[in-house]
Chain A
Amino acid sequence: MAELLKIKNLSIGIDGKEILHGLNLEINSGEIHAVMGRNGSGKSTFSNALMGHPAYKISTGEINFNGTLINNLKPNERAKLGLFLGFQYPLSIPGVTVANFLRQANKALKGDAVSPRDFRKLLYEKMDDLEIDHVFATRYINDGFSGGEKKRMEILQMAMLEPKLAILDEPDSGLDIDSLKLVAQSINKYKEKNPSVSVLLITHYQRMLDYIKPDKVHVFVDGNIVESGGPELALELEKKGYDWLTEKEAVKA
Chain B
Amino acid sequence: MKTKEKKKSFELPSDEPKWLFEKRLSALISYEKEPLPNRVSHLWKYSDPSWFEFNSNNGSIVSSEKLKPVFALDNEATEKGVVLIELSDAFRNEKYNDLILKYFSQLTAKCPNKFAYFNEAIWSSGYFLYVPKNVKIEKPITVRLLFNQLSSLEAVRILILLEEGSSLNLIDEMSSPEDSKRLLNTVTEIFLEKESRLSYANLQLHSKQTISHLFQRAEIKNNAELTNVIVALGGKISKADLGTDLCGTHAGVTTYGIVLGDGVQKFDHHTTLEHNAPYTKSDLNFRVALKDTSRSAYTGNLKISHEAVKSDAHQENRNLLLSSDAKAESIPELEILTNDVTRCNHGVTVGQIDKDQVFYLMSRGLSQKEAEQVIIEGFVEPTISRIPEESLREDIMLKIKNKLGVL
Tell me, yes or no, whether A and B come into direct contact in the complex with CB atoms closer than 8 A. Answer: no
A residues near B (Cβ < 8 Å) are none
Identify the B interface with A (CB < 8 A): none
